[in-house]
Structure 1
């Protein structure tokens, strides 16, 4: 089912990376879920999935996107301005949500959020809700990108780290070195231990939940490292410590 949404604001993080705020009623949803955006292009309806960045309770949705030169939808999205309309799927869906994690004693004390690129979106929504701060003693967001200017919402995340003593924000970039940021791929930072050293806590099956969202290579390599250390995938029939969502 589709609703017509109206673009009410946009933010350009660099020449390719941008956010759109879209006024639309999609009904109730959970932080971490996604919708599809669709446009009619050359007499063909083209739809793609985008995570909702803002928490439930708003009268709009916000999405983070990057334009791909040969992409079917993203170049057209990149041209949208306030006042333009776009189709939005309802209801929201997806399982990268806190209610999918184990609860009680098997939950553990620490929540690790590992993301690359625009896949930070679900975690931005989750961090904007009360639940993670009530359930976990420590929360670590590792946000991977190629360059520093590809870290959308960087100032917001820095401010959150200042406001929340239990939160640690670790940007990790690969194509340049930048003061205060890790210079590595997320799997390499896990393998070397540098991510844990900068976070000030260790990853262990007894006290950690790991949520991963991003490119398949990051997820594959990170899972291999984590499972070698005794963590296992989280399934409803067999609770574990690793919950994932591939972003393409």
Structure 2
């Protein structure tokens, strides 16, 4: 609870700080209009103030995203769920066919991993214009020491470009990375806990950013259980709830 209070306090301080800067910039523009008669100087002050305002908003938004990400992680850990009994993942050889039965397509495969994906209309956002949800499942070879592979980022970027050429804009991505684990030690637990809630770069002219959620799943066959950092009682969003429910179907 102390961590949650600390994050809330940090959020409040940052919010008050940016409000103070915005008020100061607005006051400067008003003062320039009242006390400076030279229009050219007024214009330069207005231009500088607007550039500064854009910088402040962009910086504040990025910082708030980081605080929000940290807040999600702390609250999920405070309400963490237990291991999930393995069903479909008991036999790794059956996973490709099971994924295909759920509508996933194999996009890339090598000795280190296999990447499957499926694209659907956003099941939560029912706006009139089309929004698409990309779901990715990465089966990481157990010989790999990490869940995150560099080539996975490149492959997902290719998938995005593929659908973008087909005029199918992806607004959200749910990435599930599964790997068999032999020992459930502290190092492995730390890797599993490296879940992410990210947003693509934001600016005032492109406010609709891609939201990315990544969850790591350790398949602990010694106990026939899947281990991941999740919560059934705390849900940061409807998309998080959807993601966790879909992972449970895979397990």
Provide TM-score, normalisation by structure 2. 0.28
Structure ranking higher in helix proportion: 2
Flag the structure with larger Rg: 2
Greater share of residues in strand: 1
